[in-house]
């Protein structure tokens, strides 16, 4: 029996744990007037909540690692701000933003995977970012992970309100890259983590977040449905094959506790060769929207579900045929992180970085 089959059984047990947290199809928008669904494939007008919007902090294919902003009112149709220019020349990395305990925003990144430090920037308005500090993981003794290489891939940050602690994750390999067999390097990637109460001091050495023998990268942690439990959204970094059909796809594992144990992740929610997942709640309050990149910088895809454990289906968009599209993403958009913002914050960000700003 393949590991993918046994993993499915283990996931069903994990989904039961997380299932207690399953949100009702109309949860979260008691006061909103949600329009009825149209027949499948019929034209539809996306719902817009007058009180909220979305920010996508991301890089681009042309300028990898540099910070750009795109915004949306419906979570489906995105437009690039600042005339397509970066919004910061200081930041570098795979953007990941979370709210701090004091209400400010914290942004995490690094200069490159070979940068020995994870770096933080802070902002009260998502417009002006200031350096906050840095953290240098000690990779010399990661329990259960021998000989990790000094590489810190795509740091991600999550603030857990229940414990008042930050969870910092990233991926690290322990097999060098060789042109003759590059997938050995990627297959050795594992998600490491460390916790902190203030991002100034950190709780011990890095640890493995998962106990599965699966390569994982681009891990994000988020609250489970109705805020109960936690879900890890990961990219399965194994190369796809008949024995491992979920290779290079986005998958989800839910657990009752922040640090797990997380069961084997569930079925793929994306096609193969997708990465950098980011998930938002749609304005109607009843759908999760999971975005992922078809690398390298080819296009963005979208899957939708009423609950984090599914069922998920792929939404059509970026097709080049406007009448087929249910979502639109600016060309060349790469790795990033979406967050819900207030309409007041949206208006301020658009005023600071107007869409039609002239390029130098």
> Over the stretch 151-180, which tens digit does the pLDDT of each residue have?
999 999 999 999 999 999 999 999 999 999
Residue 37 CA to residue 26 CA, distance in Å, equals 12
Tokens of 232: 């890890």
More confident residue, 65 or 18: 65
- Other C-beta atoms within 10 Å of 315: how many? 17
- What is the pLDDT confidence band of residue 41, given thresholds at 50, 70 and 90? confident
* pLDDT score, position 39: 85
Instruction: Supply 318's token pair.
Output: 């970026």
**pLDDT tens, position by position, 79-110:** 999 999 999 989 999 999 999 999 999 999 99
Q: What is the pLDDT of residue 42?
A: 81
Q: Please, which pLDDT band fits residue 20 given cuts at 50, 70 and 90? A: very low
Please give the share of the chain, as a percent, with pLDDT higher than 90: 80
* Structure-token pair, residue 226: 């109705």
- Confidence (pLDDT) at 33: 53
11 pLDDT above the threshold of 50: no
Q: Answer whether residue 201 shows pLDDT above 50.
A: yes
CB 3 within 8 Å of CB 11: no
Q: What's the rounded mean pLDDT across residues 21-27?
A: 35
| Confidence label for 356 from pLDDT (cuts 50, 70 and 90) | confident
Q: Does residue 3 have a pLDDT over 60?
A: no
| Confidence at residue 37, expressed as pLDDT on a 0 to 100 scale | 76
Residue 145 makes CB contacts below 8 A (sequence gap 6+) with 172, 174, 190, 192, 208
More confident position, 188 or 23: 188
Cα dihedral 247, 156, 68, 306 sign: positive
Which letter, b or e, does each residue of 242-251 get, where b requires 16 or more Cβ atoms within 10 Å of its Cβ? eebebbbbbb
Mean pLDDT of the chain: 89
User: CB under 8 Å to 140, separation ≥6 — which residues?
Assistant: none
Rounded to whole angstroms, the Cα distance separating 124 from 120 reads 14
- The pLDDT value recorded for residue 34 is 56
Is the pLDDT assigned to residue 10 strictly greater than 50? Answer: no
| Residue 94: partners with Cβ closer than 8 Å, 6 or more residues away | 59, 65, 109, 154, 155, 156, 218, 276, 335, 336
What are the pLDDT digits (tens) for 281-336? 999 999 999 999 999 888 899 999 999 999 999 999 988 888 889 999 999 999 99
């Amino acid at each position: 029996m393949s590991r993918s089959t046994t993993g499915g059984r283990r996931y069903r047990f994990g989904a039961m744990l997380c299932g207690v947290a399953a949100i009702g199809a109309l949860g979260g928008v008691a006061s909103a007037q949600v329009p009825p669904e149209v027949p499948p494939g019929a034209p539809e007008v996306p719902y817009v909540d007058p009180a909220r919007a979305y920010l996508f902090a991301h890089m681009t294919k042309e300028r990898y690692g540099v910070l750009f902003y795109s915004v949306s009112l419906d979570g489906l149709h995105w437009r690039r701000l600042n005339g397509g220019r970066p919004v910061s020349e200081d930041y570098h990395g795979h953007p990941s933003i979370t709210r701090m305990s004091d209400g400010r925003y914290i942004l995490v990144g690094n200069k490159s995977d070979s940068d020995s430090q994870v770096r933080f920037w802070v902002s009260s308005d998502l417009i002006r970012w200031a350096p906050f500090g840095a953290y240098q993981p000690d990779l010399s003794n990661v329990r259960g992970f021998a000989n990790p290489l000094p590489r810190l891939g795509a740091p991600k940050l999550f603030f857990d309100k229940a414990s008042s602690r930050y969870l910092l994750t990233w991926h690290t390999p322990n097999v060098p890259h060789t042109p003759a067999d590059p997938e050995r390097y990627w297959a050795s990637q594992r998600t490491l983590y460390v916790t902190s109460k203030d991002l100034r001091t950190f709780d011990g050495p890095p640890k493995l977040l998962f106990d599965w023998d699966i390569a994982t990268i681009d891990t994000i942690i988020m609250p489970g449905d109705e805020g109960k439990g936690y879900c890890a959204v990961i990219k399965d970094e194994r190369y796809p094959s008949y024995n491992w059909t979920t290779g290079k796809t986005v998958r989800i594992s839910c657990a009752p506790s922040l640090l797990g144990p997380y069961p084997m992740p569930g079925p793929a929610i994306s096609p193969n060769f997708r990465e950098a997942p980011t998930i938002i709640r749609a304005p109607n309050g009843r759908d999760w929207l999971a975005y992922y990149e078809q690398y390298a910088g080819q296009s963005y895809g979208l899957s939708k579900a009423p609950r984090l454990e599914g069922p998920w289906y792929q939404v059509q968009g970026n097709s080049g045929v406007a009448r087929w599209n249910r979502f639109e993403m600016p060309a060349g958009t790469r790795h990033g992180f979406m967050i819900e913002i207030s309409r007041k914050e949206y208006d301020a960000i658009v005023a600071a970085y107007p869409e039609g700003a002239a390029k130098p």
